[in-house]
Amino acid sequence: DHKTNVKHLQEDGTVKDSLWLNLAVPCEIVCHKNGVCEAGNGKPAQTAFSVVAYDEVTDSTVVLAKPSTGRTHQIRLHLQYLGHPIGNDPNYGGEMFFGDASGEKMCILAKQKMDEID
């Protein structure tokens, strides 16, 4: 079964049902030199996911991830596999999100400074 209902006791004493998605998709390192990994082949990997919150304004979701195994980049790969990559993680399909124009400006400035160091 891919989905499990779990009951959680809230701070106010109420009980809330949480739906967990249990995903079992193998992961492998395809290039050790630069750490590139892929989901679908390799060693067994399992992660359970549950939605914590959704923000309509940014169309983004906060999830709780509980890996049962410890593969390299496992959570990132599993979210990419599900079609919901991590925001600001372009290596695994996530789009860059800056929040606003000043956030984008600061990211560009930080990248320029990092490039100067290299």
pLDDT digits (tens, 9 = 90+) for 6-43: 555 566 766 667 788 999 999 999 998 888 899 999 99
pLDDT score at 8: 57
Q: Which two tokens stand for residue 27?
A: 């992961």
pLDDT score at 100: 75
Average pLDDT on 75-89 reads 92
CA gap 60, 98 in Å, rounded: 13
Query: pLDDT band for position 77 (50/70/90)?
Result: very high
Do β-strands 15-24 and 27-31 pair in parallel, antiparallel, or remain unpaired? unpaired
Write the DSSP string, the chain: --EEEEEEE-TTS-EEEEEEEEEE--EEEEETTTTEEEESSSB--EEEEEEEEEETTTTEEEEEEEESS--TTHHHHHHHHTT-PPTT-GGGTPPP--SSHHHHHHHHHHHHHHHHH-
**CB contact at 8 A, 97 and 58:** yes
**CB contact at 8 A, 81 and 47:** no
pLDDT digits (tens, 9 = 90+) for 5-14: 655 556 676 6
